[in-house]
Chains A and B, each alone.
Chain A
Amino acid sequence: MRELVSLLNVFCLLSLLAVGGGSAVLPQMEHETVTVHQWVSADDFATIYSLGQMAPGPNMSMVGLIGFKAANHAGMSDAWAFAAMLVVLLAFYLPSSFLTYAVSHMWDSFKENPWRDSVQKGMAPITIGLMLAGVHAVGKTASYNPEHSFHFNTITIGVGLAVTAILFAKHINPALLILAGGVVGWFCLRGI
C-alpha cells in the first residue's frame, strides 16, 4: 500500500512537470524510479521506454509498466501489480488533463497577452535541454553501458546513430526502424 502511495506521488508530480510534452520528464522519471525508489533497474527502464515506442497511441503509456514492475519488486501479487499499473497511468494522465480542461476554458482571455509568447519562447530551450537529458538517461544503459563489451557498445551506439541519420534523410515510420533495431540486435548482439 505504501508503495502505491509513493507511485501516486511521483507520477502525479511528473504529470504536472511535463512541460512541452512527455519526453521532457524522462530524466526526472529515470532518476526517481531507478535511483531514488529503485522500482526498476536502469536496464528495465531503457527497455520499458523503448517498448513504449513500439506501441500505438501516446508512447508515455509505458509508465504503466513501471508501476507493474514496482509492485512486482515489492513482492505484491499480480492483482496488486495491475492495480499499481492503473494507479500510475491515472496519476500520470489525470492531473495534466484536469489542468488542460480547466485552462482551455479561459484560454481566450489570455490568448492576446504578449507574455504568452514569452513563456513559449522562454520554455522552448528548457524543453530541449530536458529532452537531451532524456537521451542521456536512456542512452547511458541502452547505447553505452560500461558493463558491456566494447564490441557490444559499438553496435548499440551504431544502431542509434543510424536511426537518427535515417530519420533525417528519409520519411519513414519510426516504429519500423525500432523493429529493425530489434532484428539487428538479435542478429549481432546474441553471443556477446
Chain B
Amino acid sequence: MSTPVIKPTAVEIFAAFFRIGVTSFGGGLVAYLRDEIVAGRQWMSEDEFLAALEIGQTLPGLNSVNVAIIAGRKLAGPRGAIAAATGLVIPGAVILVILGLLYVRFRNNRDVAAALAGIAAAAVGLLFQVTLKIGAKQFFNPLDLFFVLLTFVLVGLYHVSLPVALFLIAPFAIILRRPRKEAVK
C-alpha cells in the first residue's frame, strides 16, 4: 500500500475530478477515474482503488460517485470527499441543464423530435448491451437466471415497488449464496 508523500489539497482534488467530469463522455466512468487517480496522479495504488470500487459497488448509489467519495476522503478527509464528488458531478449536470433547456424549447420541432427519437432508441441499445455484458455470468447460471427473471417480472412488468421487491428477493438470494464451511478451510 503506497500512500502519496504529499497529500493533495481539496482544490487539487476538485480540479482533478472536474477534469474527469468534463471529459468522460460515453459512460465507463470508473475507467476514467482509474486512469486519473491511479495512473495519472498516482494518488492511490491499484489495490486501494480496487478496494474503493468494491465498497462503491456494494453500497447503494452510483459506483463512480461512491468511488469519488471514498478516494476524496482518503486523500483529504470530508473536504476531499466533497471536492471529489462535486467536481465529478457539476460539469455534466450543467451541460444537462443546457441540453434540457434546449429540449424544452425545441422538442416540437420536427427535425429535433426525429433526432431525439433516434438518440433514445440508441440509448436503449447501449443500456441493453451494458446489461448483457455485466450479466454474462448470471445469464448462464440457472439459479442466478431465476433471480434475474424474477426481479425483472416483479419490478419491470408488475411494478412491485423496489423496496418491497428487495426485501422479498434479496434475503433468499443471499442465503442461497451463504458462506460454505468447507470452502473456508
> Which residues of A are interface residues toward B (Cβ below 8 A)?
13, 15-23, 25-28, 31, 35, 46-62, 64-65, 68-69, 72, 85, 89, 93, 95-97, 99-101, 103-104, 107, 111, 114-139, 141-143, 152, 155-157, 159-164, 167-168, 173-186, 188-190
Contacts and interface: CB of A to CB of B under 8 A. Distances in A.
Given A15-B60, A190-B110, A182 B138 contact: no
B122 A133 contact: no
A57 B144 contact: no
Contact of A97 (B23, B69, B96): B69
Contact of B148 (A128, A152, A155, A179): A128
Interface of B: 20-29, 51-52, 55-66, 69-70, 73, 78, 81, 85, 88-93, 95-97, 99-100, 103-104, 107, 110-111, 114-135, 137-139, 141, 144-152, 155-157, 159, 161-163, 166, 169-170, 173-179, 184
B21 to A, nearest CB: 4
22 contacts: A28-B162, A50-B122, A55-B99, A56-B95, A57-B90, A61-B96, A65-B97, A65-B103, A93-B62, A114-B179, A115-B178, A120-B58, A129-B149, A129-B155, A130-B155, A132-B131, A132-B135, A157-B121, A160-B121, A162-B125, A175-B26, A177-B125
